């Protein structure tokens, strides 16, 4: 079939949403259409599929057959790589396990790495006190030891973030100062805003104790990361309780904005229009991704102008002004841009990774594995 798509509004995301290997949803009421009939905009047809695997069959002979398999445990994944049971891993793997694979030198593995467009952040709920106070958000940003975490926890597999946009976004990236770990400055900001420490060493204001709920999934790497940050916050007088939840429950609360603090990640976005989904006041759940209820009318005005602007230079400038506002208001607490890391058997050649982690390199790789 030939299908015509008509978009109500301009967005660069329109093209990326037709990308290689995009999974297409179809209305269940269309009984005469099989998933195998769907080709999409790429060079592959959907083959056998289940909860734990998907086969993509090439439409050109020169392209490789692609079998995607789900491996839920990273230790199992590491062993499968070493034993040659899989040729390539595109999964996120913890820095500890990655370092172990590199040092073990087993299985004849190759490691492909590039700076990414992925963005890690601390999401904060702007509706909840004291996160609703800008001074408190500023102080909180100064109590996160980002550099030490990147060096010792991430093993230098990331770079500090100063906004959603890494250097992979040539049009949007610009210099913004990055908050470094500075507990003395944080203490001064809090005291100037009327906060003081109680007898237990925790901050309070007008007799009300600062006590935050940080929700995190039961994923081991995420939990270790949050524990590290919470230790530093407690050490500096901010009381934080960690609520650990299984993945489904965590994601439900995350998407609904039921938290004080949360560590999040945005991946796969390709242009600045992402800002509207993430921070616009009309993008609150369930309609959008403004889960922390960041509300700023000036930000909205710049985003609305950008959305309707056809001149690319003016549109980018509007987006840049919106980023400045989001940064100034500490809409998120920036963390880092993790590297894209793929692990392959050394018989896989000709890989050039994309900053957004797309599967496009799979079209160009050379498979010499027997």
Asked if 64 and 367 touch (Cβ cutoff 8 Å), the reply is yes
Single out the residue of 89, 235, 241, 262 nearest to residue 148, CA to CA.
235
Residues 170-217: pLDDT tens digits?
899 999 999 999 999 999 999 999 999 999 999 999 999 999 999 999
Mean predicted confidence (pLDDT) in 115-140: 96
How far apart CA 111 and CA 178 sit, in angstroms, is 30
Q: What percent of the chain has pLDDT over 90?
A: 62
Angle, helices 297-308 vs 312-328, to 10°: value is: 160
pLDDT, tens digit, 9 for 90 and up, residues 33-46: 665 565 555 678 77
Say what the pTM is.
0.83
- The pLDDT, as a whole number, for residue 259 is 96
Does residue 52 or residue 133 have the better pLDDT?
A: 133
Higher pLDDT, 183 or 27: 183
Residue with tokens 């995190």: 216
pLDDT tens readout for residues 276-292:
999 999 999 988 899 99
Distance, CA of 126 to CA of 154 (rounded, Å): 28
More confident residue, 17 or 49: 49
> Which tens digits make up the pLDDT trace of 313-367?
999 999 999 999 999 999 999 999 999 999 999 999 889 998 888 888 888 888 8
pLDDT reported for residue 17: 59
Rounded CA-CA distance 157/151 in Å is 8
Q: State yes or no: pLDDT of 19 exceeds 60.
A: no
The sheet that has 208-209: what strands, in order across it?
A: 196-197, 203-205, 208-209
As a whole number of angstroms, the distance between CA 30 and CA 108 comes to: 47
Percent of residues, the chain, with pLDDT higher than 70: 90
């Amino acid at each position: 079939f030939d299908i015509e798509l008509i978009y109500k509004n301009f967005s660069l995301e329109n093209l990326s949403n037709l990308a290689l290997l995009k999974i297409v949803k179809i209305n269940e009421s269309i009984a005469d259409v099989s998933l195998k009939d769907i080709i999409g905009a790429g060079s592959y047809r959907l083959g056998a599929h289940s909860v734990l695997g998907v086969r993509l069959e090439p439409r050109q002979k020169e392209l490789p057959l692609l079998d995607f398999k789900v491996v839920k445990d990273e230790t199992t994944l590491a062993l499968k790589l070493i034993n040659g049971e899989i040729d390539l891993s595109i999964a996120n793997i913890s820095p500890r396990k990655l370092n172990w694979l590199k040092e073990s030198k087993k299985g004849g593995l190759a490691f492909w790495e590039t700076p990414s467009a992925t963005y890690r952040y601390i999401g904060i709920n702007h509706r909840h006190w004291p996160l609703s106070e800008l001074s408190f958000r500023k102080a909180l940003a100064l109590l996160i030891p980002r550099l030490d975490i990147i060096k010792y926890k991430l093993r230098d597999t990331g770079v500090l973030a100063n906004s959603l946009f890494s250097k992979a976004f040539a049009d949007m990236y610009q210099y913004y100062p990055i908050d470094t770990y500075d507990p003395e400055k944080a203490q001064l900001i809090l005291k100037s805003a009327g906060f003081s420490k109680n007898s237990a060493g925790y901050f309070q204001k007008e007799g009300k104790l600062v006590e935050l709920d940080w929700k995190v999934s039961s994923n081991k790497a995420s939990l270790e990361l949050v524990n590290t940050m919470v230790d530093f916050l407690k050490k500096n007088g901010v009381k934080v309780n960690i609520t650990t939840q299984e993945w489904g429950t965590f994601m439900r609360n995350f998407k609904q904005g039921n938290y004080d603090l949360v560590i999040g990640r945005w991946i796969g976005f390709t242009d600045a229009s992402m800002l509207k989904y993430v921070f616009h006041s009309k993008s609150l759940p369930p309609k959008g991704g403004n889960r922390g209820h960041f509300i700023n009318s000036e930000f909205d005005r710049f985003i609305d102008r950008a959305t309707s602007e056809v001149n690319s230079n003016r549109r980018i400038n509007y987006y840049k002004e919106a980023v400045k506002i989001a940064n100034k208001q500490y809409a998120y607490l920036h963390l880092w841009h993790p590297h894209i890391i793929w692990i392959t058997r050394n018989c896989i050649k000709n890989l050039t990774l994309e900053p957004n982690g797309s599967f496009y390199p799979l079209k160009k790789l050379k498979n010499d594995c027997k």
